[in-house]
Amino acid sequence: MEWLYMPDGFLSIEDIINNNPGLEKVRRIIKQTDVAADFYKVFPDLEKIALPVKVKKKVLYLQVENPAWRNELKFMEKVIVDKVNQFFKEERIRWVKFLA
């Protein structure tokens, strides 16, 4: 079997994505996807109540079918925003939009 030579300056895909200035849009999409994917790590109690649909332009879209829960969560919007941003140690969302 022939061995492949790896140059000393080899970069991982993570390094390339995180450090290449031309991939800012890719980094932004990954961060937005992470919020929806990790939502239940931050709020495990909301798994049966709310479904994170997407994040777009720092707005988290949550599907909530029950109007009573939607109103309750609307009152908790600031807490949701703060906890998500604390979890990721940066501002990932600014507000939450509740979908029926």
The CATH number of residue 50's host domain is 3.30.300
pLDDT band at 28 (very low <50, low <70, confident <90, very high): confident
pLDDT digit string, tens, across residues 31-86: 888 999 999 999 999 999 999 999 999 999 999 989 999 999 999 999 999 999 99
Non-local (6+) Cβ contacts of 20 within 8 A are none
The residue range of the domain holding 77 is 13-99
Is it the case that residue 24 has pLDDT exceeding 90? no
Domain contains 68: yes
Q: What is the pTM of this model?
A: 0.78
Residue 5 included in any domain: no
Q: Is residue 93 part of a domain?
A: yes
In 3D space, the residue among 87, 23, 95 whose CA is nearest the CA of residue 56 turns out to be 95
Residue of 54, 10, 8 lying closest to 32 (CA atoms): 54
